[in-house]
Amino acid sequence: MYIEMVHPTSLSPEALDAYLERGWYRMGQSVFTCRFVTFDGTLFPTIWIRLPLEGYTFRKSLRRRMSRNAKRFQISIGAPAEMTPEKEALYQRYRDDFSGDLAPSLEEALFDGDGRDIFDTREIEIRDDGRLVAFSFFDLGVESIESIIGVYDPDYKSHSLGLHTMLLEVEHAQAAGLRYFYPGYVVPGYSAFDYKLRLGEAELEYHHTEQDAWLPYPELERNNLATHRLQRGLEVAVEALRAEGVPAELRIYPLYRSASLDSRLALCLKQPLFIECHPDRPGLSRLVVTYDYETDSYALEFCLRVADLREQFAHFSAPEDQPPPCLHLMQQVVRLAESGSAERITRTLIQIGAA
């Protein structure tokens, strides 16, 4: 599965370490992992990273920034996280200035709106003559911390306070004798997350999903990322289908995320990219081809369009160089065939009379 989530009722620091070690992360009061994200109509791979803390030192430019901010602001670190109207107000200012999607409220982002916290969540506050201008929350494990959210006043952008709170978290983790700092994922090709790489790409590690191992970040194969492998495999199948006269179009499917996370949609398609065969045929039934890049295998699925969500996703538009989106909720009815060969899948589709 490309997205997985669990909803523990409690979580020990040891259990948090174990999840982080596997490339999982906090979302609200749950723990999840994912392989892909969609931004601006484009599918991107998620690369989970961590920083080994033993022997790590900030490079000179980061030390200078920390020194300047330490002289200017008042900083407190490590107290149990506290939700206050002051933090919520700053979050709303930050959210209004943020270019991406954020939860409607800080309470909802961290605690799913019910105030419960199964994590050992701590905070950093940065004030300017008493005024709260930045804060961050992080979770403590036994050997690790995970950085959850950093919020800053847009009027203070020039001070890079979001970066500064992350650096303070690293410093706090080192002082506590912890082994790893987990800042979440980066997204090659989408620069909004690149600030995490300022910790030092040479020092960072990334989680190799297939090997379930942490490898040096500089060894990341940028020409063989999950999105490349998934799209290449599907393009092979598109060519095989079209060679036999079967109309076929590659579709990006942003609704796979909802289908993966909402148990009510358990029967729906959970593929971020798929091939729609005979896309211009009327009716609700659809034959689609999916591809699992980890096993290098194809599947022919009979699906139904059970809901048209184009109105709800009116803002979603894929760039011209990307596959067009499918914004119908697709329910999987039956898997008709599986094969490691795109040609064999094509022959099966023709044999059942679908062509």
Tokens of 304: 């139904």
Lowest mean pLDDT: which of 47-56, 99-108, 136-145?
A: 99-108
CA nearest to 258, candidates 291, 307, 189: 307
Q: What is the pLDDT of residues 154-194, one digit of tens each?
A: 999 999 999 999 999 999 999 999 999 999 999 999 999 99
Mean pLDDT (the chain, rounded): 93
Q: How far apart are CA 311 and CA 216, in angstroms?
A: 43
Lowest mean pLDDT: which of 113-122, 177-186, 297-306?
A: 113-122
In 193-293, alpha helices (H): 226-243, 256-261
CATH class belonging to 3-219: alpha beta
Q: Is it the case that residue 354 has pLDDT exceeding 70?
A: no
Indicate the burial class of 316 (C-beta count within 10 angstroms; 0-12, 13-18, 19 or more). Answer: middle
CB within 8 A of 312, min separation 6: which ones? Answer: none
CA nearest to 233, candidates 189, 260, 278, 271: 271
In 177-329, alpha helices (H): 226-243, 256-261
Side chain identity at residue 92, one-letter code = Q
CB 74 within 8 A of CB 215: no
Degrees, nearest 5: CA angle 100-34-234: 100
CB 303 within 8 A of CB 293: no
What pTM did the predictor assign?
0.92
Q: Is it the case that residue 355 has pLDDT exceeding 60?
A: no
Q: How far apart are CA 142 and CA 188, in angstroms?
A: 30
Q: How far apart are CA 90 and CA 128, in angstroms?
A: 13
pLDDT of 353:
65
CB within 8 A of 127, min separation 6: which ones? Answer: 73, 74, 75, 133
CB within 8 A of 345, min separation 6: which ones? Answer: 237, 240, 289, 298, 299, 300, 337, 339
CA dihedral for 183, 189, 194, 200, sign (positive or negative): positive
Secondary structure (3-state) at 224: coil
Ranges of each domain in the chain: 3-219, 226-351
Q: What percentage of the chain exceeds 90 in pLDDT?
A: 81
pLDDT bucket at 41, cuts 50 / 70 / 90: confident
In the chain, alpha helices (H): 13-21, 60-72, 85-97, 106-111, 161-175, 226-243, 256-261, 342-351
**200's torsion region: left (phi>0), alpha (psi -120 to 50) or beta?**
left
Q: Is it the case that residue 4 has pLDDT exceeding 70?
A: yes
**30's torsion region: left (phi>0), alpha (psi -120 to 50) or beta?**
beta
pLDDT of 103:
87
Indicate the burial class of 330 (C-beta count within 10 angstroms; 0-12, 13-18, 19 or more). Answer: buried
Q: Is it the case that residue 112 has pLDDT exceeding 90?
A: no
Q: What is the pLDDT of residues 58-96, one digit of tens each?
A: 999 999 999 999 999 999 999 999 999 999 999 999 999
Q: What percentage of the chain exceeds 70 in pLDDT?
A: 98
CB 166 within 8 A of CB 150: yes
